[in-house]
Structure formats: C-alpha cells, structure tokens
Amino acid sequence: MKKLSVGLKIQLVLAIILLIMLIVTCFYNKLLNYSEILAGITLLVMAYNNQKEYKRKAMTAIYAVVGLLIMVFAIVRIING
C-alpha cells in the first residue's frame, strides 16, 4: 500500500475537522464564519495536492479561487460584525 504524503494527511485531517465543525455549526450558528474559513483552507490544500500529487492543473485553479473567495467573504463578515 502506498504511503500518504504529508499534503494528503493534512487534507484528511482538515476534512475531518471541517465535518465536525459543520455539525457543530448546525447547533451554534456563530461558528459559521470560522467553518467557512476552514473550508477555504481545506480547498487551498486540495488545490496544492491536485497540483503536486495528481498533476491536474484545471481543478487546481478552481479549488484555489473558490477557497480564496470563501475565505475573503468570511473574513469580511467577521470584520464587519
């Protein structure tokens, strides 16, 4: 069995944490912005893994742009209160 690279391990951990955060967000809505930031970080890690591990350039750009947009909108909402 092939060993998982560090990037894939980070992606796995972030995906599990994101899933837990989304479940908690259903009961405590104030964590929504932080869940979105975590989703953006997860998408950026996915973009990195697509580029380095799988050599898929088209999806890399999509993951990176969507991840950055999600993070920017969440940060703006946090700043504006």
The one-letter code for the residue type at 58 is A
pLDDT in 10s for each residue of the chain, 81 residues: 578 889 999 999 999 999 999 999 999 998 999 999 999 999 999 999 998 888 888 889 999 999 999 999 999 999 997
* Contacts with 24 (C-beta within 8 Å, 6 or more apart), sequence order: 31
| pLDDT at residue 1, as a whole number | 58
Judge residue 45's burial from the number of C-beta atoms within 10 Å of its C-beta, 0-12 exposed, 13-18 middle, 19 or more buried.
buried
| pLDDT at residue 80, as a whole number | 93
- Please count the residues of the chain: 81
Domain boundaries, the chain: 6-80
User: Among 43, 38, 34, 39, which residue's Cα sits nearest to residue 78?
Assistant: 34
